Chain A
Amino acid sequence: MSAVLRMAEVTRVHGEGATEVHALRSVSFAAHPGELVAVMGPSGSGKSTLLTLAGGLDGPTSGVVSVEGVDLAGVGAAGRARMRRTSIGYVFQDFNLIPALTAVENVALPLELDGVRSRTARAGARAALEEVGIADLADRFPDHMSGGQQQRVAIARAVVGDRRLILADEPTGALDSETGESILRLLRARCDAGAAGVLVTHEARHAAWADRVVFLRDGVVIDETGADHADALLDAGRIR
């Protein structure tokens, strides 16, 4: 099966000369449909850089990042912004919901920005909220929701419009252990339903929900668990 996200020999250098920092060094990485991949590493290991590159929020110094076969460097800033509304969903630690909008308005936003008619967008948003189990909170404002509920809204926003790549940056960071687990169950379910997920975390207990765990140190992938399925082996061969 072809990968939803593919990173080939990706390097990202910040600064130059004496202050140059290699955030990622020649990292190759893929996430397939139905697969949840966790990326673990201490702060400064490059895990957040990896995610921002995968989401097209930043570009690599060298190497290629492609999502659903499209090279993100080749579509321009507008193209990347469009892909973030239609192909790539982002879930952040601090939810990043817009406080002046209700849950359903927050979720409908990417669709509306993409030109979907308001009524259709709202219907899609309600379906996404239903899927994450909070259809009844659709008209609430973020301030009137618990952390776990807000993160569910954020996940609904990340998947609405059938986006097939979900990128999650410490999505359970601000939540207690049981709420955090329910969020992981949701991500897991979404991947089981066919999306590809990349979860950045420093908590082993959360990474354990993934099919594969990739360990990053100083911008280099130093190890990987669970990479036993044939696709991963083939991909590793193809990238090199």
Chain B
Amino acid sequence: MSVRQALLALLEEEPRYGYQLRAQFEQRTGSTWPLNVGQVYTTLTRLERDGLVEGAGEDGEGHVIYRITDAGRAEVANWFTTPVERTQPPRDELAIKLALAVTVPGVDVGAVIQQQRSATMAALQDYTRLKRRAAEGSRREDLAWSLVLDSLVFAAEAEVRWLDHCEARLRRAQLERPEALLEEILAEEADEEASR
């Protein structure tokens, strides 16, 4: 799991204790994936058990310091040189919702799409506001956080594009149904009749 590798990578920079590791992780990734300190210590215990880190005594204030071992360095190197695996697609509630919306009778699919598009657009605006703030800093950590934000931005953008695409395909499917075309023509004629 990525927390394990991330903590290990932070320890490759320099020996650190639990709170420092959590603070560094959050500084570089924003609070996008908040870590609790318990999780950090559990992970450190496992890393120590697996021989990837070792205790390096305490600092003056009683914090237990950890440092990386050679096996740990090898693990970090391996992490950075291996692509992240794309296994089973994660369960995507939106895709499932749309798949059901287009098949279950009586659902206004257009409304489902637009409601989601507005919500995703609003999230995208929030990320962009955060980005404007993050971009003001010039430290390496600000760049790291800004890149994590970009990842969220691109993912949200992809979702909006997919929704646009769904909408266009639904429209086409609608038009390709001859009886739908007839209904539309009749409705238009009725409109004209009414406006006369």
A-B contact pairs, 18 of them (CB 8 A): A40-B121, A188-B132, A202-B164, A203-B157, A204-B156, A205-B154, A205-B157, A207-B124, A208-B153, A208-B156, A208-B157, A210-B125, A215-B118, A222-B114, A223-B114, A223-B118, A226-B122, A226-B125
Q: How large is the interface on B (under 10, 10 to 19, 20 to 34, 35 or more residues)?
A: 10 to 19
Instruction: Tell which of A185, A202, A208, A215 touches B124, judged by Cβ atoms closer than 8 Å.
Output: A208
Query: What is the bound-complex CA distance between A40 and B153, given in angstroms?
Result: 17
Is B157's CB under 8 angstroms from A204's CB? yes
- Is B8's CB within 8 Å of the partner chain A? no
Known A-B contacts A42-B168, A222-B114; A207 and B121 likewise in contact (beta carbons under 8 Å): yes
Residues of B within 8 A of A118 (CB): none
User: For A213, what are the chain B residues with a Cβ–Cβ distance below 8 Å?
Assistant: 121, 125
Instruction: Tell which of A185, A188, A205, A223 touches B153, judged by Cβ atoms closer than 8 Å.
Output: A205
Query: In the assembled complex, which residues on chain A have CB atoms less than 8 Å from the CB atom of B164?
Result: 42, 202
Give the contacts of B125-183 with A (CB-CB under 8 A): 125, 127-128, 132, 153-154, 156-157, 160-161, 164, 168
Q: Could you tell me which A residues sit within 8 Å of B by CB distance?
A: 40, 42, 185, 188, 202-205, 207-210, 213, 215, 222-226
Residues of B within 8 Å of A222, CB to CB, are: 114
| Neighbouring A residues of B156 by C-beta, 8 Å | 204, 208
Q: What are the residues of chain A within 8 A of B120 when measuring CB–CB?
A: 204
Is B117 in the interface zone, CB < 8 Å from A?
yes
Chain A residue nearest to B160 (CB atoms) is A204
Residues of the A chain whose Cβ atoms lie less than 8 Å from the Cβ of B153: 205, 208
Contact A209 B128 (CB under 8 A): yes
Of A40, A185, A204, the most chain B CB neighbours within 10 A belong to A204
**CA A203 – CA B156 in complex, angstroms?**
11
A42 to B168, CA, bound (A): 9
**Roughly how many angstroms separate A104 CA and B196 CA in the complex, as a whole number?**
56
1/0 contact string of B102-131 vs chain A (CB within 8 Å)? 000000000000100110111011011000
Instruction: Give A213 to B160 CA distance when docked, in angstroms.
Output: 13
Query: Which residues of chain B are near A208, meaning CB under 8 Å?
Result: 121, 124-125, 127-128, 153, 156-157
Contact status A225-B121, CB under 8 Å: yes
**A40–B127 CA distance with the chains assembled, in angstroms:** 18
CA distance A209 to B164 in the complex (A): 19
A225:B125 contact, CB within 8 angstroms: yes
Q: Which residues of B are found within 8 Å of A188, using beta-carbon distances?
A: 132
Complex CA–CA separation, A40 to B154 (angstroms)? 17
Q: Taking the nearest CB of chain A, how far is it from the CB of B167, in angstroms? A: 8
Residues of B within 8 A of A40 (CB): 121
Q: Which residues of A contact B160 (CB under 8 A)?
A: 204
Q: A222 CA to B160 CA in the complex, in Å?
A: 16
* Cα of A204 to Cα of B164 in the assembled complex, Å: 10
Whether the pair B121, A204 counts as a contact (CB closer than 8 A) is yes
Nearest-neighbor residue (CB-CB) of A205 within chain B = B157
Q: Which residues of B contact A225 (CB under 8 A)?
A: 118, 121-122, 125
Q: Out of B114, B125, B157, name the residue touching A215 (CB < 8 Å).
A: B114
Alpha-carbon separation in the docked complex, A209 to B132 (Å): 9
Identity of the chain B residue whose Cβ is nearest the Cβ of A202 in the assembled complex: B164
Give the distance to chain A from B169, nearest Cβ to Cβ, in Å.
12
A residues near B117, Cβ cutoff 8 Å: 215, 223
Complex formed: what's the CA distance from A223 to B110 in Å?
12
Residues in B with CB closer than 8 Å to A42 are 164, 168
- The one of B114, B124, B132 that contacts A204, using a Cβ cutoff of 8 Å: B124
Residues on the A chain within 8 Å of B121, using CB: 40, 204, 207-208, 213, 225
Give bound CA distance, A40 to B167, whole Å. Answer: 14
The 7 A-B residue pairs with the shortest CB-CB distance in the complex, in nearest-first order: A204-B160, A208-B124, A208-B128, A205-B157, A225-B122, A204-B157, A208-B125
Q: Shortest beta-carbon distance, B170 to chain A, in Å?
A: 13
Could you say which residues of chain B place their CB within 8 Å of the CB of A226?
A: 122, 125
| Residue of chain B at shortest CB distance from A203 | B157
Q: How far is the CA of A202 from the CA of B125 in the complex (A)?
A: 15
What is the bound-complex CA distance between A42 and B160, given in angstroms?
12
A215 CA to B118 CA, complexed, in Å:
9
